[in-house]
Structure 1
Amino acid sequence: MDNQHIAPLEAGKDYPTNWNEFLDWFGSEEACLAFLERLRWPEGFVCPGCGSVGAPYRSSRVRLMCRDCARQTTVTAGTIFDKTRTPLRVWLAAAWYLTNQKQDVSALGLQRVLGLGSYETAWAMLHRFRRAMVRPERERLKGLVEVDETYLALTDRENPISAVGRKSNTSKVLVAIAVELHEPKGFGRIRLRRIDNDAESCVVPFVQDSIEPGAQVRTDGSAAYRSLTDLGYAHQRRVMLGSDTPAHVSMAGVHRVAALIKRWMLGTHHGSVQPEHLDAYLDEFVFRFNRRTSNSRGLLFYRLLQQAMQTEPFTYADVVKKAPRKSSGR
C-alpha cells in the first residue's frame, strides 16, 4: 500500500499519550487483547493456517477460530507474547516504561517498578522486547557515513542473582559502528554490530548490510576497507598515524557514539553484560539513539508493540542459551 493512502496515527486515538491515559486504555486483559489484535491484524483477522480473511468465531475471550478451516489460534500466538504466563497488562506496562525512559532500563529497575516477584522475569521480558526493536525492512544508512570499531569491556555477571558465589570474568568485545553525519553538523541514524575482529571479512559485510551503495563512507586508514570503492561506495580514507588532527576530531561521529555506548554500559548495566547477550543490548541502544528526537513517547510505545506482534516467539530458554555471533546486518 502506498504511504500516501495510509492515515497518520493520532495521539490519544491510536495510542495513549500519558500514564493516566494508559491506565484508562488498558484496565483489563480484554482491553489489552483488543489492542494487540488491532496491531496484529490492522485490516481484520487473517487465519495463520489457510490465510482466509474474515471475522473469526470466538470460542472464548482468548481463542479465535477460523470459519473456513476451523483452525484455532490466539492473538498472541507466534509473537513474543506466545504462551506467556505474565498478564498482558504487565507486558504493556513494561513496554510503556521501556519507551518512556530517556535512558536505558535495567532488569532490576523494571522489576521494582512493576512489582515483579522475579528478577529473571523482568530480565527475560526486556530481552524479548529488545528482540522486537529491529525492523527487518528498515532502510540502510545514507549520505556521509563514518565507520570504525571500538572495544567494550564486559563483565560476565549480567544476572546478579545467578552470579552469586561465582567468579566474574572480564572480556573485551569488538563492536563495529556506523554513523550518519549531517551537514553542517549533527548526527543521524546509527548501526552497531558485534564482530570477531577488525579484518576485511568482518567489517566489509557490516558496511554492506548497514549502508546503501553509493553513500560516502569515511574510515580510518585501515586496509580492511580497501574494497569499498569496488563495491560501489565513495570511500574516504583518513589516515590517523602521524596526523596533526586528533582522531576524535577527524572521526567525530564514531568517537561520540563509542563514548555514549561505554557510558551507557557502565552507567545502567555496570559493565555486567554477558558477551553472548551483547547483540540484544546493542539493538536497544540503536533503537533509543535513532529515536532520540521523538517528541511522542506514546508513538514509540505503539511502534514497539507493533513490532512485537510481528516478531517470532523468543522463550526464556532461547534467552539464556549461549547465542552464536550474528553474521547478518542489524
Structure 2
Amino acid sequence: MDIHILAPKAGADYPTHWNEFLVWFATDEACLAYLEKLRWPAGFVCPACDCADHPYRSSRGRMVCRHCGHQCTVTAGTIFEKTRTPLRVWLAAAWYATSQKQGVNALGLQRVLGLGSYQTAWTMLHRFRAAMVRPGRESLHGKVEVDETYLGISDRQKPIIAKGGKNNTAKTLIVIAVEMLEPKGFGRIRLQRIPDDTAGSVLPFVQQGIKPGSTVHTDGSAAYRALTELGYLHQRTVMLESDVAAHVSMPGVHRVAALLKRWILGTHHGAIQPAHVDAYLDEFVFRFNRRSSSSRGMLFYRLLQQAVVTGPVTYDDVVQKSALGQEI
C-alpha cells in the first residue's frame, strides 16, 4: 500500500497544537502505538515473510509473526532503531522541528528539549533529514528553470588562517530546478550538490528530477545542449551582454537560491560541514515543497510517516565523512 495515498485529518491523525500533542504522547507506549499505526496502516505485515496477520505480542514491545515466527519491533529497521532516547523525546523533536517555519539547529533543539548532549540533538536532526526524501516522489514537470549557484558555508573543521582571523569559507556548487507556475508563482523544487557545472554533472540531475517532455529553461551554458536529444524542450536564455537582468529572465532559480542562502545563514549561521550539505539541501526541499501547508501538524505527520519506512541511520553513518563539527 502506498502510504502517501492516505488523507490524514487534523485532530484525528495528528495533533493540531502543542497541548494536544502532550495529551496524545504522554507515554512511550502511546508513541509506540502511533508509530505502529503509521508503519502498518492496514495492520501488521511481517518484515520477513510479508504475512498480514495480527502478531503475538511478547515482552519489551516485541511482535512475533504467527506464520514464520519472526520477531521484530515497531522501531526495528527505521531511523529509531536501537535508540536509547525515549520516543516521547523523539516525537517532541519532530514536532518542534516541523512547527518552526525556518527549522531548528542542533543547539536550539538541545536547549528546548533539555538533551544531555549536543551530539544527541545533532544526530536526531540528521536522522530526520534522512527521512525527508520520499522514495518514488513525482518528478518535476511543465516548465522548469535549471541553473547553478555557489553556496558559501563556514567550514569549522579547517584551521583559522591567522590569529584573530575568520573561519574559512567553503564554496559548494549547487544545481537548482524550480517548477514555474502559470500565470505566476513557483511549484516544487529540487536541489543537489554537484562537483562542477559540466554536462556530466547537470544532465543526470535533470534526468533524475524532471519528467521528459517538460520545458527546461536554462542560461546559455553549453552543458545543457543535449537536453533536446534527451527528450526535453529546451529554452535557452543567453545572459552575457543581455539587457535583461538574470534574476528577471530566470526568477525561479534566483529566488530559491536567495532563500536557501538566507536559511543557511539564519537558521544554521552558515556553519555546516561541506560533507553534510546534501542533508541540509534535503531538509530545505522538504520545507519549501510543503510551504503552503495550512497545518504544521501535517508536516509532523508526513515526517514521521516517512521516518518509519526509512532505514536506520547511526551516529557513525552521519560522521563517517568528516569529524563532527559544532554546527550551531
TM-score of Structure 1 vs Structure 2, range by shorter chain = over 0.9
TM-score by length of 2: 0.92
1:64–1:74 Cα contact (<8 Å) kept: yes
- The alpha carbon displacement at 1:300 in A equals 1.2
Aligned partners of 1:173, 1:197: CA distance in 2, in Å?
9
1:216 maps to amino acid: T
Shift of 1:210: 1.0
- CA-based RMSD: 1.5
1:112 shift after superposition: 0.8
Classify 1:273/1:291 alpha carbon distance in 2 versus 1 (closer, same or farther; 3 Å).
same
SS at match of 1:14: coil
Q: CA deviation at 1:87?
A: 0.2
Shift of 1:62: 1.3
The equivalent residue for 1:221 is: 220
- Distance in 2 between the 1:222 and 1:7 partners? 42
Residue 8 of structure 1 corresponds to which residue in structure 2? 7
Give, in whole Å, the separation in 1 of the partners of 2:202 and 2:275.
Answer: 19
- Report sequence identity in percent: 72
Shift of 1:154: 1.6
2:104 counterpart letter in structure 1 = V
Amino acid of the structure 2 residue aligned with 1:34:
A
Deviation at 1:265, TM superposition (A): 1.1
Aligned counterpart, 1:163: none
Deviation at 1:194, TM superposition (A): 0.1
Secondary structure at the residue paired with 2:227? coil
Residue equivalent to 1:321:
320
Question: In the alignment, what sits opposite 2:325?
Answer: none
Q: CA deviation at 1:61?
A: 4.3
Q: SS in structure 2 opposite 1:103?
A: coil
> What corresponds to 1:237 in structure 2?
236
* d(CA) in 1 for partners of 2:172, 2:30: 43
Deviation at 1:168, TM superposition (A): 4.4
Per the alignment, residue 206 of structure 2 pairs with 207
Counterpart in the other structure of 1:326: none
| Counterpart position of 2:300 | 301
Matching of residues 1-330 of structure 1 within 5 Å: 8-157=7-156, 168-322=167-321
Give the 3-state SS of the residue equivalent to 1:292 in structure 2. coil
Superposition TM-score, scaled by structure 1 size: 0.92
TM-superposed deviation, 1:191: 0.3
Q: Cα distance 1:25–1:265, how it changes in 2: closer, same or farther (>3 A)?
A: same
Alpha-carbon distance, 1:7 to partner: 6.1
Separation (CA, whole Å) in 2 of partners of 1:246 and 1:51: 57
Figure out how many residues of one structure are paired with residues of the other and give that number.
313
TM-superposed deviation, 1:117: 1.2
Q: Which moves more between the two structures, 190-199 or 67-76? A: 67-76
CA distance in structure 1 between the aligned counterparts of 2:300 and 2:130, rounded to whole angstroms: 15
Deviation string 1:163-186 (CA, Å, 9 cap, x unpaired) is xxxx94321100000001112211
Q: Which amino acid aligns with 1:132?
A: A
Query: What residue identity is the alignment partner of 2:109?
Result: L
- Cα displacement (A) at 1:214: 0.6
For residues 177-215 of structure 1, the C-alpha deviation after alignment (integer angstroms, 9 at most, x for no partner) is 000111221111000000000000000001111110011
1:258 and 1:7 mapped to 2: Cα distance?
32
CA distance in 2 between partners of 1:243 and 1:320 (Å):
45
AA aligned opposite 1:321: Q
